[in-house]
Structure 1
């Protein structure tokens, strides 16, 4: 067994009796923010060590979740088994980011059958949802009013998606995968620095009675770092789902409590028992495209993530990125310009493909990407890019103004049989809608729809609210192939910045030949078709003035990626976890 993570954090866990530390098992380094730092910050972190293994590997955003996944792999479980066990633990220990009250996208490579499948566990809008859901007096609702409400809660999808995938790829019994989370919920876990800091920055959570009783002490203060937190209510829910399957969540008393909480909120939603009972996870054809010698595959719409990554990289295909200094001036310039073009298209075209025709293949066709590259000047920023129009659709569409808040989590695993899974999972904003039911939080994913159903000219927005529709996402769980074999699996949290986080990591590994950990740790940069963004407290600050001289409108800011990635090559498995968060990798 190999694992690398923050020494201070491991010491705290060991003192709490949660981990046993062997002398050869851990490297000396730091990777976690201390309790007085913004846990979403990209500043103040130091390098984590890369993890190597021969047979299997799992990486998640929390040591407890990683250990749960590792336990499944060590018992002979599949990569999917490991991801399910880890997700259940994340519901408990990282509730600010994901959980059974939210949704997920996953891509799974089955080595024995040489098949790749995309699983869509995205939340859906209730049957009663209408396009003007987030409008009042002709204007979009303010941020906090939209996010922290029953209106924002979509029908959760993660359990249905994982159950569907498990029937095809699971090796261990479904019930066995829930045992680490049940045990930890009953025995308790120590509040981590990141969770504590997130609680301090989430005053709306304290306004919800059930949430306040769990996350805060009797004086109304967030539980301190190291506090032993138990969640018997969640343990009961997980035990029901373990024994009865996902139906225990979508029908019966758990479903009734979800609906009552959503409809009983001061800003009530309209979810019904029928909405939960009728939810269906979907299998979709993965979206794939080429970059250099590699085949990059991931989640298709309703996620814009893979499409955005493929567009960005498709433009960079025309640039000799391998000759540029990593994160140097020319690299940042071209990467940012390519990002502008990708985000410009994303903001108009991507939505639920069951409701909207998304011109996916047109947007990643070589001829179209070449025409987009032709818009880039080597010495001058284009400023704000206009969307392209490869299918003559643009005049009929309005621009999206979804909130897309960055609180999500990513998990990757490779099992001993060579199967690979990459999954991004989310409840949207930190602590989701703040609605706490039976020990878990409900998402606020419906704010990923455009708040305006039409633009100023009256054109409909593709990603507008409609009954039963899945909101657009930027989650980008990706598996990379080389010579028809899986070479890399990765993804990241980060709201609509995910495209840049994932693309940067890919460029660093595929073009600059960086190790997977160094690629993840490389300072973040790029553009979402607004300003050119450079990660705060990194070496990128020296590029600000040269970029401004080229016409870039530069901002230096925190860039809280959370990339988890595994590389598969002749030497075995190499994994990295983002030093900006608490994640670790383990393998054997």
Structure 2
């Protein structure tokens, strides 16, 4: 297989609101060693974060402790992707109870927001005009979500989990090549218009350079307060007041967040969504997360012969199954507190059989199944996110995806961290041409639909694998493609993660340029595919149990991830 080319260009992502550059392009390919462990496993998108989480595991901490400590470090060293100003979906495996559940710490819309939030003169706003400033900021859910998870599954003291990040924030850390390149590229147009962010990312008017020692005393102060007082230090008091003032006080694009919105935020425990794939059971985070689409796509493929060879016929079936699943997603999925999602019908065995029978040679947009009256909805959902996986000494595990949405979020900065722009994951238009409300419209208190899909695999009731990725709406295909390569193709987890990415979101078939995927272009075109070679920059992290009971870890070579094991 030819080597992946350096991915320094920003591909174009076509959206309903216009042409938007896809952020988070990689700066190069990291050679990843194959790592195996028997009791402790940790993988994140940055070596410093992996080391922080692994240190908690070695001190007897739980998998939840590990991902909290690691995510605090990611807030500092990978600020463009996730952090205190955003949210997360956490999938947890309780080894003792043999139980899996999801904690939804997704952001919510301020209660004053209406379906017209992103409408201007009767039309959807320009995406970047909506993005930069307070209008796009959802109520952050990460801190309360972590507190809730720690109350149930934490072993180490809450304050201890913040120690690695606080030390790095005070003493400084070396800016990574990826962060430096994304700042240099100015891929978020608001980065220089936000005074606090500009001063931090462009010291003395120059973009941060790789290897620079960067300190963040404001973030250290914020984390010290949260470590001492818990979520109250974030959702009430001085920091909450500063956050609301920043959101509401933006000069050109203010939001409507209030102190009550922050104080009232609550994470939600949800049952996982599961379905069979070959001899395994694949489980993921349900709506408003993207796990239902992962399970449905695999359910359609499960009705077809195994994709043992990752070649043109297999990729054709893979992309067409994805088309069918995305067609249902775009019609039916949203926050289940506001819209009824027909999950059972979408995963019904006879329905999946009928959907699999629709896969032919022609590459045409798929139509959703007739499950409920609904209007078609589409949202931008850009790929700035991070995935973490951990297994502790007791066999408990966490697969968690965290995000602030686009690279550098809304570009507003408070307390040393960036605020999300997750509200742009809502549909900008509230109704379709027939006047029907769309499932993913903006509503006060609602969670925007997401493609984040932290997933786990069971074999005969035992945990077999963990996987997840950043990548916006392409996350779903990154996760399913990797599972197919492991289960059908017999690859180890590291090789499967490194395989060329292929996506189709019921639009065009995207192949990862600079890879062996370029050899598939003509074959797919012959089957009617609209093929585009672009940068498909996933950030997969995953573990898979080996036949001898040990675990192998995998980190995406497209980013700066690291696996640690013992």
Moved more, 66-75 or 544-553: 544-553
Question: Corresponding residue for 1:92?
Answer: 76
Q: Deviations over 1:12-58 (max 9, x none)?
A: xxxxxxxxxxxxxxxxxx99969x77794479636422211111100
Native 8 Å contact 1:337 1:381 kept in 2: no
- Preserved CA contact (<8 Å) 2:284 2:454: yes
1:231 equivalent in structure 2: 216
Query: Equivalent residues in 2 for 1:343-354 (5 A)?
Result: 343-354=326-337
In the TM superposition, what whole-angstrom CA distance separates every residue of 1:508-547 from its partner, at most 9, and x where no partner exists? Answer: 1111110000000000013111111111101111111111
1:421 maps to 398
CA shift for structure 1 position 149:
2.2
Task: Say which SS state the counterpart of residue 206 (structure 1) adopts.
Answer: coil
Equivalent of 2:417 in 440, 454, 468: 440
CA distance in 1 between counterparts of 2:558 and 2:398 reads 23
Any conservation in 2 of the 1:31–1:47 contact (CA below 8 Å)? no
Which secondary structure does the structure 1 equivalent of 2:313 belong to?
A: helix
TM-score scaled by structure 2? 0.95
Number of the residue aligned with 2:463: 486
3-state SS in 2 of match to 1:408: strand
Q: Distance in 1 between matches of 2:270 and 2:359?
A: 34
Query: 363, 385, 393: which is aligned to 1:408?
Result: 385
Equivalences for residues 19-38 of structure 1 within 5 A: none
Does the C-alpha gap of structure 1 residues 32 and 535 become closer, same or farther in structure 2, counting only changes over 3 Å? closer
- Whether 1:158 aligns to 2:142 is yes
Q: Does 1:290 align with 2:276?
A: yes
SS of residue paired to 1:488: strand
In 1: Cα distance, 2:24 partner to 2:126 partner: 23
1:37–1:197 CA contact under 8 A, matched in 2? no
Secondary structure in structure 1 of the residue aligned to 2:135: helix
Q: Is the 8 A contact 2:26 2:178 kept in 1?
A: no
Equivalent positions of 1:214-229 (< 5 A) are 214-218=200-204, 220-229=205-214
| Structure 1 counterpart of 2:190 | 204
Q: Is 2:97 the counterpart of 1:113?
A: yes
Distance 2:224 2:31 in 1: 38
Distance 1:340 1:115 in 2: 32
Q: Does 1:388 align with 2:369?
A: yes
Q: Are 1:398 and 2:375 counterparts?
A: yes
1:536 aligns with 2:513: yes
Q: Is contact 2:32–2:557 with CA below 8 Å preserved after alignment?
A: yes
8 Å Cα contact 1:32-1:581 kept in structure 2 = no
Measure, in 1, the Cα distance between the counterparts of 2:503 and 2:203.
41
CA distance in 2 between counterparts of 1:268 and 1:71 reads 41
- 8 Å Cα contact 2:4-2:514 kept in structure 1: no
Which of 352, 361, 364 is the equivalent residue of 1:369?
352
Q: How does 1:305-320 map to 2 (within 5 A)?
A: 305-320=290-305
Per-residue CA distance 1:76-107 (angstroms, 9 max, x = gap): 11011000000000000000000010000001
Give, in whole Å, the separation in 2 of the partners of 1:440 and 1:44: 26
Describe the superposition over 1:297-346 as per-residue Cα deviations: whole angstroms up to 9, x where unpaired.
Answer: 1111111x211111111111122124x422x1111100010010011111
**Could you tell me how far apart the structure 1 residues matched to 2:200 and 2:25 are?**
26
Is the Cα–Cα contact under 8 Å of residues 5 and 515 in structure 2 kept in the other structure? no
SS in 2 for 1:85: helix
Q: RMSD in angstroms over aligned alpha carbons?
A: 1.6
CA–CA distance in structure 1, aligned partners of residues 335 and 214 of structure 2: 39
In the alignment, what sits opposite 2:565?
587
Q: Count the aligned residue pairs.
A: 548
Once the 2 structures are TM-superposed, how far is the Cα of residue 112 of structure 1 from its aligned partner?
Answer: 1.0
Distance in 2, Cα, partners of 1:270 & 1:520: 41
Structure 2 CA distance for partners of 1:100 and 1:43, relative to 1, 3 Å? closer
**1:369-428 deviations in whole A, cap 9, x for unaligned?**
111111111xx1341111111x3x1xx322112110110000000011000100000000
Could you tell me how far 1:164 is from its partner in structure 2? 0.4
* CA displacement at 1:288 relative to structure 2: 1.1
Match of 2:159 in 1: 175
Query: Structure 1 CA distance, aligned partners of 2:25 and 2:190?
Result: 21
Secondary structure of the residue aligned to 1:150 is coil
**1:256 maps to which residue?**
241
Aligned partners of 2:430 and 2:442 also within 8 Å: yes
| 8 Å contact kept, 1:501–1:561 | yes
Q: How far apart in 2 are the matches of 1:32 and 1:205? A: 28
Matched, 1:139 2:116: no
Unaligned runs of 5+ in 1: 1-29
SS at match of 2:453: coil
Report how far residue 208 of structure 1 moved. Answer: 0.6
Q: Is the 8 A contact 1:31 1:582 kept in 2?
A: no
| Structure 2 spans left out of the alignment, 5+ residues | 11-22
Whether 2:324 is the aligned partner of 1:341: answer yes
The answer to whether the aligner puts 1:506 opposite 2:483 as a matched pair is: yes
CA distance in 2, matches of 1:288, 1:32: 36
Which residue of the partner structure matches residue 78 of structure 1?
Answer: 62
